[in-house]
Structure formats: C-alpha cells, structure tokens
Amino acid sequence: MPQASWSGLRLLLLTAPPDPVTEELVSASADAIILDCVGEPVPVAAVAAARPDLPIVVLADVDRARAEQMVTEGAETVLPRSGARIEDVLRAIRSAAPRPAPMAPTGERLARDSESLLARPMTDAPQLEAVGRLAGGVAHDYNNLLQVIGGNAEHLVANLAADSPLRGAADAIATAGRRATQLTQRLLAFGRQQRLVTTTSDLNAVVATAIPRLREQLGRHVRVETELGTGLPPVRVDRDQMVTVLTNLAINAYEAMPEGGTFTLTTDLCAISDDMRAHRPWLATGRFVRLQVADTGSGIEEQALPHLFEPFYTTKRAWRGGGLGLAAVYGVIKQSDGYIWVDSRVGEGTRITILFRPDSSDLAQAPDARVATPVTPPAIRLLVVEDDDGVRELLESMLEHHGFAVATAASAEDALAFEPHRDFDLLLTDVVLPGRSGPELARDLRTRAPDLPILFMSGHTGSVVGAGSDGEAEAFIQKPFTSAMLVARIREMLAGK
C-alpha cells in the first residue's frame, strides 16, 4: 500500500484469505500492517509471528467475541470493515505501544532488501508507485497509438523504394515506434502490470535461444560460457521476456567489464536448505530450477545492493546502466512467481541468482508442440472487432495485404448483427470494447460455432480473457504487434484447428 501524503506513515495492506504470510510481508519496510479480512480464516497469529515489530489493525465484520480473540492473537485493534474510517485506523496505529525491531546481520538485511525492494510498498519513493499506476492507466490508449504508428511505418518501409527520399523518414518512424514499444514494456514490467504469455519451457532451451543475442551485446572482448544442468524439470515462463531479462543482465555486465572478461550462465536444480532460509527467510521451501548469471567485472559496493532494482538508479561503482532495465528484470521474475537476488563484492564480480518453481501441470509432461504447417490465406475469412477507428482500419489493410478476407466491426453488437450471415474461420477481437466486451462476444459466438478459433488482442495491461471451454487459456496477442507477428499467430491457430 503506498504511503499517503497526509498520513506520515508507511502502511502495509494485506488481504486475507488467502494467507498473506509471504516473503513480501517478512521483508517489507513499513510502520504498521492493515489486515483487510474479507472472510475466514483470519491469520492474525501468523501475521503477528512473521512481523512482531509492527502493530496490526484488523478490518473485519465479526462479532465481539471473535474480535477479542483476534486481539489476543496479536491484533492492536479490530475495526468494522464496512464502516471503519481512515482516521480510526491512523488513531489506532499512532496509539500503539512501540514494538521491538527485529535484529538481522547487516549482510542478511542487505541481501533481503536487494531482493524485496519492489515487493514491499513503495513508501520510500511514492513517485515510483505513481509511475507504475501511470503506466497501467495509459497503456491501452498508448498501445493503440503505437499500433497505428508502427503498423503504418511498417507499411511505408515495405512499399517505398530503397532510393526513395522518404525511405529514411519511414525507417526513423519505425525505429522510434519500436523504441517506444520497448519503453512501454519496461514500464509495465516494472509495475508488474504486463501480460506474460507463459508456456511450459525448458530453461536450458531459453538460455540457448538467448546466447546469440548475448554474444552480440557483449562483443568480442567478453567470453560467454554456459554450464547447463541436465534433466531439469520444465518451468512456466514467458520465453520472449526471459530472453529480454538475460539481455538486460548482459548489458549491465558489459558495462562492468570495460576491459573484457567472462559472462557465465549456469542452470541446475536447487533444494532450499535451512541454511539458505536463515540468510534469506523469504524463500519458500522445496525444489527450484536455478539460473545464475555471473560476470568478472568490477563488482558493486555494498550500500548500492538494496537499490539495484530501482528505476534509473545508478552509481559510479555499481552498474552504470541507469534506466528501467533492471527494474523490468525484477518485475518479470516476480510476476513469474520467481525469486531474484544479487551477490557482489567490489573487485570480485557479480552473481545474479534467479529461482523458478518447477511446472507441475499436466502440460509439463508433454514436449513443446509448435505447428509449422503453412496455411494458404486466400480462403481464410476473418472477423475483426476493434473499436478504435485507426487500429481497425490498419488491421483491415494489414490482413488484406496478406491475402485474408476481412470483415470488420466496431463493437460486439455490430459483429453479432451480421455474423449469422457469414461463415468465419477466425475471430480477432479486442478485449475492451464499448458495451459488451470481447470475451462476452466470444461466448456468444461459441454457442453458434463451438469450434471457432478466437484470438484476443489488447493494449490494456489489466485485460483478462480467462479460459476457453476446454479449460485452456484463450489465445492472446499484446498490442502493439507487427503484421508478421499477427499473421504468424493466426496461421499457427488455424493450422492447429
């Protein structure tokens, strides 16, 4: 929970159920905990045990006996969830007796802070919280604008002669559009608001995919080495985002090794031991697939470690890649339910450790299935539903250029008005539409054509499309995308129809 400018307090808001006792709770920097209880069980005792140094104000609609029990379990007070005022909450916190702060060795606290900086409430830097909210709030409209800019720039580049006086301008627009897209993605990753397209993946294969890009990024003076474990269980990650994560780490390693050095990627299976938890108590028990990235660079000063994942943070001795790169890395890993931390000493290089839970789903038992069978597009009939006029016109032109037969609609109601008279091979629809949403449209069309492939698109970070009738996640493509990305996705879906 961000710090309110009028409160002067750093408040950590937890919701129960589910159980809110996580590594974020253990490591968060705060003045008090507000436990918002939407039902039973209310884990007051567990929260109090995890953070005995913080007063706990419980918001719950319970009877007097249950409220008194919560107080005996460690709550400072219990206020009615349906009628509590913020003034009552602040009064209870400020009147609470001081509690002893937990002691931890300096090294342990630095390691804890470096891992949990963005997991805790951003009370020490409310402007960072504002950046995250801004990124999510404008993403839909901004990505629609980028879709139009990038799509038309792509069309210009493809159709202008190489010696055209306008070719340079078209290339510059396309390049700027790509850079703006990357910036948006990093902002959303920092705020953990981007949509990850996760698949059951072999982490070694992901690393192998990234190696050519890493060698190009690091140059000939840095040697890239790999030590990849065998027989590792699969993990569930967004492969493209993981390649971006490794690229960002390589950029920072390069800047730490101006005279050259070695960049090493290691994978293995790691069991969390009691000794590891003693130094990093926020780690969950069990087995994890571990990825470690190390360099032989200049290392990082101890006081800089807790700040490495802050956007635009930089020091003379720490990595000089000030920007959103490392903040985006942190966001992707945490959004993938993973852990990340940094170990470094000045003059001894830097090692980044990333842990992922093994994927235990049924899909993890099957090898990746990627259909490469081409589909001949002239006979393919597409229904495109998009409320933004510019994006809709661009998509129609883009898809017709690739030989598809395209019908367009600006709303779900418009699509349903003429759909019975057409036999479409695929529906491409925006998630957020005026009136009925894209998922609602999809459900209606599925009652008439149960086997109709449906591809959702959105520039909105909070879009949720859920699962189809077979329980599988619905197909989705994030705006902005290129025509090649869209056509490849459509062909892949139709080939597997």
Q: What CATH number is attached to the domain comprising 428?
A: 3.40.50.2300
Per-residue model confidence (pLDDT) at position 136: 57
Q: Are residues 353 and 383 both part of a single domain?
A: no
Q: Which of 56, 92, 86 is nearest to 73 (CA)?
A: 56
Residue 113 falls inside a structural domain: yes
Is omega for the bond preceding 80 within 30 degrees of 0, making it cis? no
Do residue 44 and residue 153 come from a single domain?
Answer: no
Do residues 407 and 424 lie in contact, with contact meaning Cβ atoms separated by under 8 Å?
yes
Question: How many domains does the chain divide into?
Answer: 3
Per DSSP, the three-state class of 469 is coil
* Nearest of 397, 173, 204, 168 to residue 289 by alpha carbon: 204
Query: In terms of residue numbers, what domain contains 17?
Result: 11-103
**212 and 338 part of one domain:** yes
Question: pLDDT value at position 362?
Answer: 46
Full-model pTM: 0.49
DSSP β-ladder status, 287-295 and 339-344: unpaired
- 478 and 353 within one domain: no
Q: Which two tokens stand for residue 238?
A: 């967004």
What is the C-alpha to C-alpha distance for residues 277 and 283, in angstroms, rounded to an integer?
6
* pLDDT at residue 13, as a whole number: 78
Dihedral over alpha carbons 112, 333, 47, 284 (to 10 degrees): -80
User: What does the pLDDT read at residue 46?
Assistant: 81
Same domain, 344 and 402: no
In a domain, 6, yes or no: no
Q: Tokens 């990340």, residue?
A: 340
Nearest CA among 375, 385, 390 for reference residue 155: 390
Q: Which two tokens stand for residue 98?
A: 């001081």
Q: Look at residues 111, 456, 70, 153 and name the one whose alpha carbon lies nearest to residue 300.
A: 111
Give the per-residue pLDDT at 278.
80
CB neighbour list of residue 255: distance below 8 Å, 6 or more residues apart:
297, 319, 320, 321
Q: Are residues 327 and 398 in the same domain?
A: no
- pLDDT reported for residue 190: 56
Cβ atoms of 247 and 240 within 8 Å: the answer is no
Do residues 300 and 407 share a domain? Answer: no
Res 359: pLDDT = 86
pLDDT at residue 180, rounded to an integer: 76
The CA distance from 283 to 22, in Å, is 9
Answer for the pair 233, 269: CB distance below 8 angstroms, yes or no. Answer: yes
64 burial type by CB count under 10 A (0-12 exposed, 13-18 middle, 19+ buried): exposed
Residue 265 pLDDT: 95
Residue 481: the pLDDT is 85
Residues 397, 338 share a domain: no
Distances (CA, A) of 332 to 214, 231, 297, 340: 18, 25, 24, 10
Q: What is the pLDDT along the chain (497 residues), one digit of tens a residue?
A: 333 333 456 777 777 766 566 656 666 677 788 888 877 777 888 888 778 878 888 888 887 778 878 888 888 888 887 666 666 777 777 766 555 544 433 444 444 444 444 444 333 334 445 555 555 556 656 777 888 888 888 888 888 888 888 888 888 888 887 777 766 666 665 555 566 667 888 999 999 989 988 988 888 889 999 999 988 999 998 888 898 899 889 988 888 898 899 999 999 999 988 888 887 887 888 899 999 999 999 898 887 887 777 666 665 444 444 455 677 788 788 878 889 989 998 888 999 999 999 987 644 444 443 333 444 444 688 999 998 888 898 898 889 888 888 999 999 988 888 755 568 899 999 988 888 888 889 888 888 888 889 999 887 654 445 444 444 456 888 888 888 889 989 988 988 76
- Please check whether residues 95 and 189 belong to one and the same domain: no
Write down the pLDDT at residue 26.
64
In angstroms, the CA 61 to CA 39 distance is 8
If asked whether residues 315 and 423 sit together in one domain, one would say: no
pLDDT of residue 14: 79
Final residue in a domain of this structure, among 311, 333, 367: 367
Cα-based angle 27, 30, 33 (whole degrees, multiple of 5): 95
Q: Is 4 a domain residue? A: no
Nearest C-alpha neighbor of 198 from the set 363, 328, 352, 366: 363
